[in-house]
Structure 1
């Protein structure tokens, strides 16, 4: 298995597991903060382990560009996962809590 394949598997696992854990905790508790923290911890563990692995695979000055490019990709993946997790949980929070939109003007529907 190539390093590229492992890299993309780590990114995919981070995306899927962050979402699954965050949504599962949201369904169990109905609270945004604990579910967001749980998803963030999973994301930190997976991306942190991937970050450490990538930094050690491409050690040395001759592989500096590959190392930096890969670490930048892990950073972008982390931020994307967190944004998607937050908005998915925010939408779930409104549905779980029974939030109903009540316009001031009935014509706004």
Structure 2
């Protein structure tokens, strides 16, 4: 398997695991901040070692391009997660009659 496979596998695994943890915690607790912070920690736990690995394997343009891609993926996952958590949050206001 190539490094490209590992690169994209890490990104897709981070997306799936982070969103699954955040959504499951939100459905169980209905606490937006807690769900976001736990999923942020999970996302960091995946991307920090992956970035260190990538920085150690390559140098020059390949290194910077890969790290830039990891950074973009990290931010995108968190933004999509926040929108998903807002959708999962139940309204506590009583219905207007």
Unaligned runs of 5+ in 1: 103-109
Give per-residue Cα distances to partners, 1:52-91, cap 9 Å, x unaligned. Answer: 1100111xxxx30000000000000000000000000011
Instruction: Give the structure, 1 or 2, with the largest relative contact order (CA under 8 Å, sep 6 or more).
Output: 2
TM-score for the superposition, normalised by structure 2: 0.92
SS at match of 1:97: coil
2:97 matched to 1:97? Answer: no
CA RMSD in angstroms, aligned pairs only: 1.5
Superposed displacement of residue 97, structure 1 = 3.4
Unaligned runs of 5+ in 2: none
Q: Which residue of 1 aligns with 2:71?
A: 75
2:19 matched to 1:19? Answer: yes
Show structure 1 runs of 4+ deviating over 3 A.
Answer: 97-102
Q: Which residue of 2 aligns with 1:65?
A: 61
The 1-side partners of 2:19 and 2:2 are apart by 26
* Preserved contact between residue 23 and residue 89 of structure 1 (Cα < 8 Å): yes
The 2-side partners of 1:99 and 1:54 are apart by 47
Give per-residue Cα distances to partners, 1:5-37, cap 9 Å, x unaligned. Answer: 000000000100010000011011001000001
The 2-side partners of 1:33 and 1:2 are apart by 38
SS at match of 1:76: helix
